[in-house]
Structure 1
Amino acid sequence: MVIYSTLAGSIHKSTNAGVTFGAAQTLPISATRIELACAMSDVNYVYALIENGDVVNGILRSINGGTTWVARTEPDDADPGIPASDFSRTQAWYDLTIAVDPNDRNGVFVGGVDLFKSTDGAGTWTQLSHWYGGFGFQYAHADQHYIFFKPGSSSIVYFVNDGGIFQSTNANVAAPTLTDKGTNYITTQFYSCAIHPTALTNYFLAGAQDNGSHQFTQGNVQNTTEVTGGDGAFCHIDQDEPQYQFTSYVYNDFYRSADGGGTWTEFATTGGDFISPTDYDNVNDKMYMCDNLNTYQRWDNPQTGSTFAVVSVPSFGGFVTALKVSPNTANRVFFGIDNGDVFRVDNAHTATPTVTNISTGLPAGFVTCIEVQTGNDNHLLATYSNYGLNSIWESLDGGVSWTSVEGNLPDMPIRWALFNPNNNDQGLIATELGVWSTDNLNGSSTNWGASNSGLANVRVDMLQVRQSDKIVIAATHGRGLFLTDIFAPPTALFTADKLTTYKGVPINFTSTSFNATSWSWNFGDAGTSTAANPSHTYTVPGKYNVTLTINSGASTLVKNLYIHILPNRGTPYALTDGGNFEVNPLDFGVDNLAGTPWEKGNSAVAGKNGVVSGSNAWVTGLTGNYADNTDASLMTPNYNFTAIGAYLMRFQSKRNTESGYDGFRVEYTLDSCRNWLPLGTITAANWYNFANTIGDASFPVNEAFFDGSVATYTQFSNTTELTFTRKPKCCI
């Protein structure tokens, strides 16, 4: 077995399966980092992608097993912001990869910012992707790290980048297509997180490495909206005026929302770090941030303006790496420095603050977090991300003295700390190996243990606690966002997998309660259960209240009219039977998975206003545009289609959707919701108008739907799939 390896800019070859390696081979260009790719079809063909001084310095090929190396051609990215001589855009130290077709020694793929293919051994190149889909190229996320062919296959190849994994199943053709394979593949590297102050809400912000700042609004912390792009740095939600929210990009480039996260405006300043640490004063409405050597920066009017001020503090002796606005003393901010020192700065909102060094006894290192007990500025924690030193320290006297509470912790970086809001002798920390906790901060005798159930041994960068319900969120650097009720009081909460359905269809209820140990359910139809996650079947149409009581009465939640069981109806079914949305008003119901629900009424919004019959229509959002990522269904009664014959379905609608992406379609079920089928999959007269061949629209590729704009109510009809020879009842 022949093995090639690189070491400090040199290439070495082993002909005995790695037992020994030969001397460094002679290269015609300088190299620091080298990425190698061997042709599986010809052991003599080897390619080397060379980095030197952060740029791509060349592509080399050997056709004689490394005896000699010859320079080949580098690809030239179509993006004018990427130099023709460096397709990594000075990031060759970071994003650089090369692979060879296992069946073709001249088939080469490389990645820097974007992806390229050569069919002549790196002589000429074809660009395959662009990081935002520009210049006529298909989209693949920026910053390529690895290219992997399925063993023995020339057609199936995987591309690993900052956005996850992309796949091609036709890599052997001239212009391979790429598909994002990131669904349910959660590897987001969050730097930061922020939590909405309203109890029991699932609204969070989180800043992600090279994947923007994300807004969480659903109970499932896997579903997000990217509200601002680039690298997502620190983020904040004003805790007493939560309509004001902030995200940031690199080097103190901020975005503000004044409408609760609906719209965002950019406010850029200077200085700072690539990921600048910041903290927000919720009471006095000021933002504090890292700036440059011996300075910090302050945003004086973040809610309304763009006034920034740089404050000089020569005694810092370094760069700010951690900030904490005191929750107890107005205009007091604690600063951690990259030399290990911690400072208390009073009157931090002025040009001449009072600065006190409170670092006695602390180590030289990189301060990552300063935690202050609510109600007591004398009780502090300071954490460090260095190996080889005690990484967490406690002060009980405002920083006059410090005691290591490292205890039995492994030697690992610590990036954040929280006091238990119910007991400030207990702590929770974010580490290189997940979240750890202690029940007693007790100097060198502090006993820490991993609190990673449901999490993982993954780097965690930040923790935030919501004071109203004591929920804690954790921003992991590689596994997304997690939350825990570890500090929360027992609170009854629940969900159901179906809110609108048909009689005889089981509904699965799930307790999402905080710290529940027993459960008592009442389903509103005399049905009960003591299971944590029961299933219940309703037999009579109507709307039902559902009640959950936990821990023998410690907490009770009632959701009124929570479940809607739709009726059976005969055919024909006309306006006077309920199709006008006036007669039998419970005949129709909604099931909203995400975003804006269907609502019944007469909207005043242009384009949504008006009705066809009666005084109501069903509208996605009566008072405004539907939200991004909306997934909502309007459901009909269970119709009787048992008679042999053709059935005509007609309805009136108008719409204004983002063409090519958003839209709606009609689906039906013949087995009471177990399986839903599209009513038609192709475009047709008086029916679907969009063929959907692009693959990234709301519905599956090659399945048509209603798309674009129809300004006035128009009748649509379809008989194609409702011609039954003998079928059971049908729901639409």
Structure 2
Amino acid sequence: MLILLSSSTHEVHAQSWINTIQDENPTFQSMKTSFYDFWKDKKITKGQGYKQFKRWEWFWESRLLPNGEFPSPTINIDEYQKYYASLSKNKYNKTLSSDNWEFKGPATSPGKYYGLGRLNCIAFHPTNKQIFWVGSPAGGLWKTTDGGSTWATNTDGLPVLGVSDIAIDPTNTNIMYIATGDGDVVLRGGDTKSIGVLKSRDGGSTWSGTGLSHTVAEKKLIRRLLIHPKNPQILLAASSDGIWMTSNGGKTWTNQQPGYFIDVEFHPTDPSIVYASTVYVPYLTSDTVAHIYRSTNTGSSWTSVASLEDVGRIELAVTKSSPNLVQALCSDLSWGLAGIWSSSNSGASFIETFKGTTTTNLLATEYDATGTGGQGWYDLALAINPYNANDVWLGGVNTWKSTDGAQNWGLNSCWSPSINQNPNQIQTIHADKHFFAYHPLDSGVLFECNDGGLYKTTNSGKDWIDLSNGLGISQIYRIGVSQTVEDNVVCGLQDNGSKLIDSNVWAEATGGDGMECIIDYTNENIIYTSVQNGVIIKADFEQGTQEEISNNIPAGQKDSTSPSGAWITPYVIHPTNPNILLAGYKKVYKTTDQGDSWSAISPELTSDNLNLITIAPSDPNTIYASTFDSLYSTSDGGINWQYIPIGIPQAQISRIAVDPANPKKIFITISGYIVGSKVFVSPDGGQNWYNYSGSLPNVPVNCITYLKGSNEGLYIGTDIGVFYTDASMTDWVPYQNGLPNVIVSDLEISYNDNKLWAGTHGRGLWKTDLYTGAVGIETQNINKEIYIFPNPNIGKFSVQVPDNKQYDVAVYNIHGEVVFEQRQIHSSQNAIELNHVKSGVYFVRLTIDNTTISRKIIINK
């Protein structure tokens, strides 16, 4: 059934929370305040941008500078390069003995409602229709040579994996350019930061910077990048601070027109004429309206040809079938549809040709285009058939098509298969459209980039073909691994539900946005997944059942007074009884029957939602829970709780790990950019804390896992990869051979096959062998006979070695500085006093029989 809509006179000019921000340079906190004030008394519905802000908030809340400001776009790159420049060759070689990361997916999807990950753009080879490229906001650049049947990437080594647009030299396809970062999010930062435009001269094998680079905390974004069709030395970039132009292949760039530009298009037959459009957001621009600009000298100078009031963002489209036609899709200030403006004289003037109203809001979620608001700041796409100017495509949450030049519209695809959301059962394609493009060499073939991946139609939208299989671009929040079956992992994905890999075969577990997930360690058929803000789902694949068990929490998720959790609501499974789970909201809730019933085991610990819960493996009555900046514990199963001061200024707790053999020994990781504050340990349940950061680079640490049965083996995931240490080492070492330079959001160990699994925010799921080190048999024997006691101590301890052997001893602090040294000791037991050192973590290094052995100690004075 085709739904035809034409514009009427019921205008709507609602306000978006973004437009309530008054500060020209708002902080993260002021943006949060504006958002929550706006939504305080409003009903939250899909398609209004609420979810996109909440995930933006989750991402950046743990990645701010100590002063609360956004970091420089290059901070992770700078720290990465600084760290590896200072890393000794021997220390780096330690990582090569065990880690060899392997990509595991997901790289297949059934399509339609489901997907793999968001794509921002597509570009085509000028002479070979089988070759094209796509760019993702956090997963890099991907290329196909067979029309989308298979894909490959070679940007894993880049310091940033966000791609907003792609430009291919039409005369030499070895030369290509990418606009880095995530330019399709009109919020500071996007999913990834932009470092400018990069250039390749060898078809994408290697990349180098151009004259357009962002090296300071400018918070700039680039959405479009165009290359001149006849003179490939000329490129234009639509950036958040203007239209940038180069006439020498990217060596130098000049800002030809200031403003927040979001789109730019060449005239189809006369590239001296160029069109560009802006975004109007009060805190991002000094303008009072959005503009359409025109240039008649290839972008050297610009004139505003349309100043559109009550318009937020403008997307442009042109067609060679009617080369003087320009159409502009405009969102309003609530990011619903303002209307469509058209020009028939090559952009010299524009008139409104379709009006957005409460019944023609094509950017709304509803199948019939009713309602107000939308997500025009995030998803907005427009295309005109190059062979038929009457065929026009419009994308927001859904995809709409017009066959009469944008006068009347029909719903072509709907985001949901639900009978409530899609009563006419229009075909389902993944939600949130970011880019449309007709293939220049394949007549009538249209491509759509959306939050699920890449789709194409060869028959004017009657059918859509999913081309996403093979793209490793999933943005994973959390993972859960099986302890009974090898290669059995569940993943929670941004935008694309929870997915399950079982013996290298991927399947959909549950829909929605995937968050925390767990596989029952005694029965791989029982899986727990979750959706944002506290919806927890139990799936029994053996019984074929699925239930939202969070509905059973007192007051119930379906009840208006139900507890609402954090964006990623924490819940954990009991270490010895898989029927018991704990879930954290403002209170901690417990179930003893896999979610059929729940009871609170804590008072309201905090006015904020809890972000983390951890149960001590050796004593399940000991439980730790935290927000970003507050830590709580109980040692009696929840009867009594205590607040634990951690004494780390501005610390943002990202994860908790407990020694499997000692419920009082806890490790916490710290996000953000506080130099030297990355990992801390407490040997006494939080009474005292010691810095365990060593020489880790100053980037956010997102997760930690403790290897059971090891010599205090610890793995951490950071914004630039994985690191490892144990009690025999004096520092952390990189553990990322073969792993892309990507945010590692979660780590888990499968003990049935001794593998480490990593969920990444942009490059999917990876696995590798556990660290084994290069320890010989003789070293192992000596190691077993060496004792350092007591540990922890007050600065006085003894070293005991076997058979009165001669040895040297040295003690190092966490900065690698020697604080004590003694050579040629003959006594089998030697007392050491360190009266001059402060409390903290130290490393005792013994050299005996040409073998060096290191142990960690904690001094608590």
TM norm. shorter chain > 0.5: yes
Contact 1:28–1:71 at 8 Å: present in 2 too? no
Please give the residue correspondences for 1:162-177 in structure 2 after superposition, counting only pairs within 5 Å.
162-171=451-460, 175-177=461-463
Are the structure 2 counterparts of residues 165 and 386 from structure 1 closer, same or farther at C-alpha, using a change threshold of 3 Å?
same
The residue that corresponds to 1:272 in the other structure is 565
Please give the residue correspondences for 1:104-143 in structure 2 after superposition, counting only pairs within 5 Å.
104-133=388-417, 134=422, 135-143=424-432
3-state SS of the aligned residue for 2:509? strand
3-state SS of the aligned residue for 2:471? coil
The residue that corresponds to 1:50 in the other structure is 331
1:392 aligns with 2:678: yes
Please give the residue correspondences for 1:573-612 in structure 2 after superposition, counting only pairs within 5 Å.
none
3-state SS of the aligned residue for 1:456? coil
Aligned residue identity for 1:283: T
The residue that corresponds to 2:641 in the other structure is 354
Contact 1:471–1:484 at 8 Å: present in 2 too? yes
Are the structure 2 counterparts of residues 5 and 152 from structure 1 closer, same or farther at C-alpha, using a change threshold of 3 Å?
farther
The residue that corresponds to 2:622 in the other structure is 332
The residue that corresponds to 1:209 in the other structure is 494
The residue that corresponds to 2:574 in the other structure is 281
The residue that corresponds to 2:613 in the other structure is 323
1:307 aligns with 2:598: yes
Contact 1:48–1:59 at 8 Å: present in 2 too? yes
Are the structure 2 counterparts of residues 166 and 259 from structure 1 closer, same or farther at C-alpha, using a change threshold of 3 Å?
closer
Are the structure 2 counterparts of residues 317 and 136 from structure 1 closer, same or farther at C-alpha, using a change threshold of 3 Å?
closer
Contact 1:391–1:414 at 8 Å: present in 2 too? no
Are the structure 2 counterparts of residues 77 and 25 from structure 1 closer, same or farther at C-alpha, using a change threshold of 3 Å?
closer
Contact 2:472–2:764 at 8 Å: present in 1 too? yes
How far, CA to CA, are the matches of 1:5 and 1:392 in structure 2? 43
| Percent identity for Structure 1 against Structure 2 | 26
The C-alpha deviation readout for 1:137-168, integer Å capped at 9, x for no partner, is 22312222222222365512211122211111
Are the structure 2 counterparts of residues 360 and 97 from structure 1 closer, same or farther at C-alpha, using a change threshold of 3 Å?
same
Cα distance, 1:404 vs structure 2 = 4.4
Match of 2:759 among 475, 478, 488: 475
Match of 2:631 among 321, 336, 342: 342
Are the structure 2 counterparts of residues 488 and 97 from structure 1 closer, same or farther at C-alpha, using a change threshold of 3 Å?
farther
Match of 2:434 among 129, 142, 145: 145
The residue that corresponds to 1:94 in the other structure is 378
The C-alpha deviation readout for 1:40-88, integer Å capped at 9, x for no partner, is 553551313315335344433344526445252455679995562459x
Aligned residue identity for 1:430: G
| TM-score of the aligned structures, taking structure 1 as reference length | 0.57
Are the structure 2 counterparts of residues 125 and 373 from structure 1 closer, same or farther at C-alpha, using a change threshold of 3 Å?
same
Cα distance, 1:272 vs structure 2 = 0.9
The residue that corresponds to 1:415 in the other structure is 702
The C-alpha deviation readout for 1:471-494, integer Å capped at 9, x for no partner, is 22222233332222224799xxxx
Are the structure 2 counterparts of residues 355 and 422 from structure 1 closer, same or farther at C-alpha, using a change threshold of 3 Å?
same
Contact 1:435–1:452 at 8 Å: present in 2 too? no
The residue that corresponds to 2:538 in the other structure is 256
The C-alpha deviation readout for 1:385-407, integer Å capped at 9, x for no partner, is 43466562221433334444445
The residue that corresponds to 2:468 in the other structure is 182
Deviation larger for 369-378 or 281-290: 281-290
Please give the residue correspondences for 1:227-626 in structure 2 after superposition, counting only pairs within 5 Å.
227-240=509-522, 244-258=526-540, 262-267=544-549, 268=551, 269=557, 270=562, 271-283=564-576, 285-291=579-585, 295-303=586-594, 305-309=596-600, 311-314=602-605, 316=606, 318-338=608-628, 340-350=629-639, 353-365=640-652, 367-387=653-673, 392-397=678-683, 398-421=685-708, 423-438=710-725, 446-453=731-738, 455-487=739-771
The residue that corresponds to 2:225 in the other structure is none
Contact 1:384–1:414 at 8 Å: present in 2 too? yes
Please give the residue correspondences for 1:76-95 in structure 2 after superposition, counting only pairs within 5 Å.
81-82=366-367, 84-85=369-370, 90-95=374-379
How far, CA to CA, are the matches of 1:11 and 1:410 in structure 2? 43
Aligned residue identity for 1:207: G
1:70 aligns with 2:323: no
Contact 1:37–1:47 at 8 Å: present in 2 too? yes
Aligned residue identity for 2:741: N
Contact 1:415–1:430 at 8 Å: present in 2 too? yes
Cα distance, 1:178 vs structure 2 = 1.0
Contact 2:324–2:343 at 8 Å: present in 1 too? no
Deviation larger for 242-251 or 257-266: 257-266
Contact 1:420–1:487 at 8 Å: present in 2 too? no
Are the structure 2 counterparts of residues 258 and 181 from structure 1 closer, same or farther at C-alpha, using a change threshold of 3 Å?
closer
The residue that corresponds to 1:191 in the other structure is 477
Aligned residue identity for 2:594: Q
Are the structure 2 counterparts of residues 28 and 243 from structure 1 closer, same or farther at C-alpha, using a change threshold of 3 Å?
closer
Aligned residue identity for 1:288: L
How far, CA to CA, are the matches of 2:389 and 2:661 in structure 1? 69
Match of 1:226 among 498, 508, 514: 508
3-state SS of the aligned residue for 1:344? strand
Contact 1:113–1:143 at 8 Å: present in 2 too? yes
How far, CA to CA, are the matches of 2:305 and 2:722 in structure 1? 44
Cα distance, 1:359 vs structure 2 = 1.7
Matched positions, count: 470
Q: Which has the larger share of helix?
A: 2
- The structure with the larger Rg is 1
Taking CA–CA contacts closer than 8 Å with sequence separation of 6 or more, which of the two structures ends up with the larger relative contact order?
2
3-state SS of the aligned residue for 1:36? strand
The C-alpha deviation readout for 1:689-708, integer Å capped at 9, x for no partner, is xxxxxxxxxxxxxxxxxxxx
The residue that corresponds to 1:6 in the other structure is 278
The C-alpha deviation readout for 1:358-392, integer Å capped at 9, x for no partner, is 32125343x32112221123433323443466562
The residue that corresponds to 1:717 in the other structure is none
How far, CA to CA, are the matches of 2:508 and 2:318 in structure 1? 39
How far, CA to CA, are the matches of 2:545 and 2:528 in structure 1? 11
3-state SS of the aligned residue for 2:587? strand
The C-alpha deviation readout for 1:458-479, integer Å capped at 9, x for no partner, is 3322111124443222222333
Contact 1:189–1:209 at 8 Å: present in 2 too? yes
Are the structure 2 counterparts of residues 260 and 282 from structure 1 closer, same or farther at C-alpha, using a change threshold of 3 Å?
farther
Are the structure 2 counterparts of residues 403 and 24 from structure 1 closer, same or farther at C-alpha, using a change threshold of 3 Å?
farther
Aligned residue identity for 1:201: E
Cα distance, 1:253 vs structure 2 = 1.9
Match of 1:36 among 304, 309, 316: 316
Aligned residue identity for 1:432: D
How far, CA to CA, are the matches of 2:380 and 2:704 in structure 1? 35
Q: Which runs of 5+ in 2 are unaligned?
A: 1-271, 282-289, 552-556, 775-861
Contact 1:379–1:394 at 8 Å: present in 2 too? no
Cα distance, 1:21 vs structure 2 = 4.6
3-state SS of the aligned residue for 2:654? strand
Contact 1:258–1:303 at 8 Å: present in 2 too? no
How far, CA to CA, are the matches of 1:308 and 1:36 in structure 2? 55
The C-alpha deviation readout for 1:467-523, integer Å capped at 9, x for no partner, is 444322222233332222224799xxxxxxxxxxxxxxxxxxxxxxxxxxxxxxxxx
The C-alpha deviation readout for 1:164-192, integer Å capped at 9, x for no partner, is 11111233xxx542111122223232221
Cα distance, 1:205 vs structure 2 = 1.7
3-state SS of the aligned residue for 1:264? strand
| TM-score of the aligned structures, taking structure 2 as reference length | 0.49
